[in-house]
Amino acid sequence: MPNAIPNRAIVLFGATGFTGRLVLAEARRRGLSPVLAGRNEAALKELAESAGGAEIRVGDPERAASLEGIFEGAGVVINCTGPFLRLGEPVLAAAIAQGAHYLDTTGEQEWIRRAVERHSAEAERRGLTAVPAHAFEYAPGDCAARIAIESTPGAVSLEVFNRAEGFGTSRGTKKSALEAMRLPTLSLVAGELVAERTAAHRATVRFPDDERHRVGISFGGGEVLSARRHGAMIREARTYLVVPEAAAFVLPTLTRIAIPLLDTPVGAWLERRIDAGSFGPGPERERQPWWIQARVRTSSGAGRRLTVSGRDIYGVTAVIAVSGACALLEGRALRAGVVSSAQAFDPRSVLAELEPHGATWREDPL
């Protein structure tokens, strides 16, 4: 029965997925016992047994009525069920309606925009905090952006670069990327959010201790959406994915051809291929390095870059999600509403939570 959840408990929705299992392991490592929730009762029971016992709750975002009461008594919901554009809204709405704080692991820009637009007022009214994308994408980038903007008086532009080496992706990441690719990228241009073709823009970046300039292609990152909350004078914001130089030349054309194909049988075929593929990367993911750089400029071109680096994108996601859930339970959220990571929490604290897991960050002038 729903009232079996002790008050202030964590409910992990999508516990059976690749990311959900890592979040569960991280919670257990800290002595927490989240309630395991999702659509598949048999898989949840099996997972609960393998974790030495846990309460389970069954509900399916594709049947919103089945989520009634599922978060009753919960303090916070961690949602790892994607694609979020397809499955996120009923879970977020249920969490808010049932009085729980919320965070999720989305990387889908349009889902973040929609969540803020449609659910922020109600969350605020109820004194609840919901943080979409409190994960590798886009918590470190958003925190880096806020710190860099705050320490650069007169900052007018933000660029965030994501780079990962030997990056193996989970089935869920591939499916969400496919879903997000159908939509244009949002960038901030002259103070307005503008829809652009993904990969339409290129920019170069240098990471500290790296001899080379790297090339990034534009994609829809979450940091763009919160940039003006971090600095009211920010007029331009774009997010970039660092890719091999040759790919940066081919991808603009390739995406122009490929994206319309996603709405034909080719899209359905691709999704079937992803479903038949591997669950996620093996243990080698723990060694895979990543870098995120927020670059902020004033109108004179001066500014600073804040670089966060570490290893293991999925492991870091689990650390960020569980740390965020603990902060929400402990009443450390800075505001109510649907907000970004660096609006919800002190950005330095979010980055500091990653340090025991090998992440470091540094600030340099441009």
Ligand X SMILES: NC(=O)c1ccc[n+]([C@@H]2O[C@H](COP(=O)([O-])OP(=O)(O)OC[C@H]3O[C@@H](n4cnc5c(N)ncnc54)[C@H](OP(=O)(O)O)[C@@H]3O)[C@@H](O)[C@H]2O)c1
Binding of ligand X by 50 (CB under 6 A): no
Local structure of residue 63 (DSSP, 8 states): S
Binding of ligand X by 303 (CB under 6 A): no
* Cβ 181 vs Cβ 197: under 8 Å: no
* Cβ 221 vs Cβ 138: under 8 Å: yes
Q: How far is the CB of 292 from ligand X (least distance, A)?
A: 11
Binding of ligand X by 361 (CB under 6 A): no
- Cα separation, 130 vs 99, in Å, equals 11
The number of angstroms, rounded, from the C-alpha of 240 to the middle of its chain's C-alpha atoms is 15
* Cβ 78 vs Cβ 57: under 8 Å: no
Is the CB of 40 or the CB of 151 nearer to ligand X?
40
SS3 call for 248: helix
Binding to ligand X (CB under 6 A) within 67-96 occurs at 80-84, 87
- Cα separation, 89 vs 94, in Å, equals 8
Is the CB of 18 or the CB of 345 nearer to ligand X?
18
Is the CB of 156 or the CB of 292 nearer to ligand X?
292
Binding of ligand X by 17 (CB under 6 A): yes
Q: Which range in 13-21, 145-153, 264-272, 286-294 contacts ligand X by CB under 6 A?
A: 13-21
Other CB atoms within a 10 A radius of the CB of residue 350 amount to 25
Rg (CA), the chain: 20
Query: Binding residue for ligand X (CB under 6 A) from 26, 110, 137, 223?
Result: 137
Q: How far is the CB of 296 from ligand X (least distance, A)?
A: 22
How many chain residues interact with ligand X (CB under 6 A)?
35
Residue nearest to ligand X (CB): 172
Binding to ligand X (CB under 6 A) within 238-277 occurs at none
In this structure, the strands spanning 129-131 and 337-338 are: parallel
Is the CB of 187 or the CB of 317 nearer to ligand X?
317
φ and ψ at 254, to 5 degrees? -60, -45
Binding site for ligand X (CB under 6 A): 14, 16-20, 38-40, 43, 60-62, 80-84, 87, 105-107, 133, 135-137, 170-173, 176, 279-280, 314, 317
